[in-house]
Amino acid sequence: MVFVMFPQTDMRVSRFFIFGTHFYLSDNPLLLLIRDANRVLPCIVVPMMVVLMMARPLKRSARLMTRQALFVLLSYVLGSAIMVHLFKDFFARARPQDVIEFGGTMEFTPAWQVASMCERNCSFPSGEAASAAAFLSVLVFVPNAYRKYVAALLVPLSMIVALNRVVLGAHFLSDVVLGWSLVCSLMLWLYAKMGLNIGA
């Protein structure tokens, strides 16, 4: 609702990171390293979950681990892959560096507005913010007694990784916030639907 009621919030935030028509931190080595690390994580996590799924263990504790692996896999596949790309294709929103105000040729459109401004790899929502959120699904493997402590470390890191996309000029703030939030909402629903909250 904030981004719908105050659509210029996106432009104001992006202007903090632009000089002329160039996002001055877009070539920062540390920020690019954070981006690349986030891109590599699914390539590590998803195959590991597939291996756990294929093991088909018989012990009750091992069956729980298989269900946990399925939860992580679904978080990535349904969240940061299918849902995000369906939204990108439907809303077709231009990225910050492509809008007229920042030296591009496309019009700025608010979040949730169907734009038809780009044909592929569009801005809304952020796939990498969604991926950063999906990584939080691995918390399901952390014992309940320690989960909140590990979450206190991982959640802020996940948010930083997501917001990094705004600093680089690749996404608007709403792209990142909503991409991250949509996947987190999906994970909460899956967590309850799969019965992982029982005894948690």
Residues 152-183: b if buried by 16+ CB within 10 A, e if exposed: eebeeebbebbbbbbbbbbbbbbbbbbbbebb
Q: What is the arithmetic mean of pLDDT over 58-67?
A: 70
- What residues have CB less than 8 Å from 144, skipping those under 6 apart? 199, 200
Residue 73: pLDDT band (50, 70, 90) is very high
Check whether 71 has a pLDDT greater than 90. yes
Please give the C-alpha separations between residue 86 and each of 55, 122, 124, 162, 174, in angstroms, as whole numbers. 31, 11, 10, 19, 17
Contact by Cβ (8 Å): 125, 177: no
Q: Cα–Cα distance between 29 and 13 in angstroms, integer?
A: 22
Q: In this model, does residue 199 exceed pLDDT 50?
A: no
Q: Give this prediction's pTM.
A: 0.89
Q: Mean of the pLDDT values across residues 176-190?
A: 95
Place of tokens 């929502």: 125
Query: How confident is the model at residue 118, as a pLDDT?
Result: 82
Neighbours of 8 (CB within 10 A): 10
> Is the pLDDT assigned to residue 56 strictly greater than 80?
no
**Beta-bridge mates of residue 106:** 99
Tell me what the pLDDT averaged over the chain comes to: 90
The closest of 139, 141, 124 to 181, measured between CA atoms, is: 124
DSSP class of residue 137 equals: G
What's the pLDDT at 57? Answer: 59
Residue percentage of the chain with pLDDT more than 70: 95
Rounded to 5 degrees, φ, ψ at 99 are -85, 155
Q: Is 22 helix (H, G, I), strand (E, B) or coil?
A: strand
**pLDDT by residue (tens digit) across 89-147?**
899 999 998 999 998 899 999 999 988 888 788 999 999 999 999 999 999 999 989 99
In sequence order, the 6+-apart residues with CB closer than 8 A to the CB of 74 are 190
pLDDT digits (tens, 9 = 90+) for 147-178: 999 999 999 999 999 999 999 999 999 999 99
Lowest mean pLDDT among 11-20, 24-33, 55-64, 133-142: 55-64
Cα separation, 104 vs 154, whole angstroms: 35
